[in-house]
Amino acid sequence: MSAKIIDGKSIAAEVKADVAKKVSELKKSGVTPCLAVILVGNNPASVSYVSGKRKALAEAGMEDRSIELPESTTEQEILSLIQKLNEDKTVHGILVQLPLPSHIDEKKVTNSISPEKDVDGFHPVNVGRLVTGEKGFLPCTPNGITVLLKKMNVETSGKNVVVVGRSNIVGKPMALLMLRKEFNSTVTICHTGTKNLSDYTKKADILIVASGRPNTVTADMIKEGAAVIDVGVNRIPDSTKKSGFRLCGDVDFEGAKEVAGFITPVPGGVGPMTIAMLIFNTLESAENFKAQND
């Protein structure tokens, strides 16, 4: 029995189409959702991520207020720019592409974004809202994973969810989301300090792996029929590829798909959902703005 492949591309396309429809409705009332993406320097991975975000904005009919700054930009210049964008009522979302050059304090920069425009969901106020279950912007990757589980009708209530990884971007918010009443799961977080990782992963009905290391989870570590969500994106040297490398996740996909009930591929699984949820959050911010100003 081979696992059902969770097609993140097609599910992300559904989310984007729904967002685009709502954007065109909102535009009729005079509000065009607008996202400002700030890119500092020319880190190739960051440039690629930003171009993906800009493409999604264009497809959704949103306004793209992207700002590209040189590597030499000072921290104060970025903070002043964010202050201007915070005050600009035509901008609904602000995103600073990470990592930033080493002379800039990332925390200071992300914390300077207004929580009402923090469509990445990283501001301490939005993190606090996530913890207490209040309404706020949810981090895009974990929220995208919950959409994948819903669309595939993966039962979460009363199920054992094991999250491998404790980052602020995926691991921690993912665990907090699955604890919410609407998902009602029992959650375990594992990390580099966890001894005998497979003792935990084998009990998981839903296994979410965001460790940042290829082959962290192999087939023998997976419970039969489990839903396996692979968040990792790793570049592995591969001379047969034109680029000289291939992408793989944190799970041994070939082995895992023979044991799991559901599995996300890399690429084409979780990745497309992250950008889809970003434009979803930007739309939500624009709708909130309209509600407050009507």
Give Cα separations from 258 to 2, 42, 231, 276 (angstroms).
5, 40, 19, 29
The answer to whether the beta carbons of residues 88 and 58 sit under 8 Å apart is no
State the residue for tokens 């009729």. Answer: 28
Active site residue 84: no
Phi, psi of 247, rounded to the nearest 5 degrees: -95, 140
For β-strands 93-96 and 34-40, DSSP reports them as parallel
180 is in an annotated binding site: no
246 is in an annotated binding site: no
Active site residue 53: yes
H helices of 35-123, where? 44-60, 75-87, 106-111
Tokens found for residue 109: 């920069």
**Please, what's the b/e burial string for 150-169 (b: 16 or more CB within 10 A of its CB; e: otherwise)?**
ebbebebeebbbbbbbbeeb
Phi, psi of 125, rounded to the nearest 5 degrees: -65, -45
Could you say which of 16, 117, 120, 205 is catalytic?
120
235 is in an annotated binding site: no
Of all helices (H) and strands (E), which one includes residue 228? strand 227-230
d(CA 80, CA 78): 5
233 is in an annotated binding site: yes
**Which residues belong to the annotated binding site for NADP(+)?**
165-167, 233
**Which residues belong to the annotated binding site?**
165-167, 233
Indicate which residues carry an active-site annotation.
Answer: 53, 97, 120
